[in-house]
Amino acid sequence: MKTQNTDIGQYSFPQRIYRFLGGAALGLFVVIIPISYASSIDWNLLQISIASFVVISCGLLSSIWGEKFIDAVTRVLDSCGF
52 contacts 24 by C-beta, under 8 angstroms:
no
pLDDT at 55 over 90: yes
The yes-or-no verdict on residue 58 having pLDDT over 80 is: yes
pLDDT of residue 1: 47
Instruction: Give residue limits of the domains in the chain.
Output: 13-35+42-80
With helix as H, strand as E and coil as C, how does 18-71 read? HHHHHHHHHHHHHHHHHHHHCCCCCCCHHHHHHHHHHHHHHHHHHHHHCHHHHH
The pTM score is: 0.72
Q: What pLDDT score does 39 carry?
A: 66
- What confidence tens digit (pLDDT) does each residue in 6-51 have? 455 566 888 888 889 988 998 898 888 888 887 667 778 998 899 9
CB of 30 closer than 8 Å to CB of 80: no
